[in-house]
Chain A
């Protein structure tokens, strides 16, 4: 297994992990504002709105830490990809319905307006999250370190 594969796989993990980590900070700090952001999409039923708004930034944080450390590496990549897909569906649904709303991606207060550029950004992130599966390298990850221990 060549070294560039290991390095690229690590870079992908760190990249997606850093984006998720940055994304969760403001949401964790302002849960009520984030709930309003989600409500604006008009996709999540009222009964699930608060649990969803509470768990989404936690999920981003856990996945980010897992990606950066390389703990449960492939599971974290799958969850990151799944979350990106959910974000893309939400953004696309907002675009189709011409909702003029803030995306709530990184900033709960005065965020970027929902637009096509966000879809493109998420597609790129999704590809980056899936690339390590093709590279088949888990060097420099907690998973690999623990396996060597055994």
Chain B
């Protein structure tokens, strides 16, 4: 028993050595993460990397300027699509009922219109609607960064969009 232990101590297997190094890596990683002021947040913000979005993001400030200008069409893509608490003048067009929703407002939205799509917060589900718009030939499609949450937080106007037109 003692002999075995001694042999193992003197000749660790390559895997044992690798595991020791993995331990060292984790230890150094955790210590540097605790100590360094520029540490990354443990969870990456998908929005920050905005990788899988089929359309570019537009900041709340830019979107508000566009809203004041009145040239852009705002699209509410929230699946629950409550008619309350939306951006005034927005059309409700959701991924699940895209064709029907778009048909209902066909005379107000043209492929050349600049569109700003928004959801509650994350832009990821909004991307599905952006893809559908692009498939219909819409070329100027953007997604509101931070969604309605960020819009509200920035003091953007919020109202009932039912029946309203831009």
Q: How many A-B residue pairs have CB under 8 A?
A: 84
Binary per-residue interface labels of chain B (34-70) against chain A in the complex, 1 for a CB within 8 Å, 0 otherwise: 0010111111101001011000000000000000000
Contact residue among B14, B21, B43 (Cβ-Cβ distance under 8 Å from A66): B21
Which range contains the number of B residues in contact with the other chain? 20 to 34
CA distance A61 to B52 in the complex (A): 31
Tell whether, in the assembled complex, residue A51 and residue B42 are in contact, meaning their CB atoms are under 8 Å apart.
yes
Nearest residue in B to A61 (C-beta to C-beta)?
A: B28
Q: Secondary structure at chain A's binding surface: helix, strand, loop or mixed?
A: helix
* Residues in A14-65 with C-beta less than 8 Å from chain B: 31-32, 35-36, 39-40, 42, 46-47, 49-51, 53-55, 58-59, 61-63
Judge whether A76 is part of the interface by a CB distance below 8 angstroms: yes
Return chain A residues, CB-CB under 8 Å to B21: 62-63, 66, 72, 75-76, 79
Interface residue B103 (Cβ < 8 Å from any Cβ of A): no
Q: What residues of A have a CB within 8 angstroms of the CB of B14 in the complex?
A: 74-75, 77-78
A31 touching B38, Cβ below 8 Å: yes
**Does B132 belong to the interface (CB within 8 Å)?**
no
Q: Is the CB of B15 within 8 A of A39?
A: no
A36 and B40 CA atoms in complex are apart in Å by 11
User: Are A32 and B44 CB-contacts (below 8 A) given A73-B17, A79-B21, A147-B10?
Assistant: no
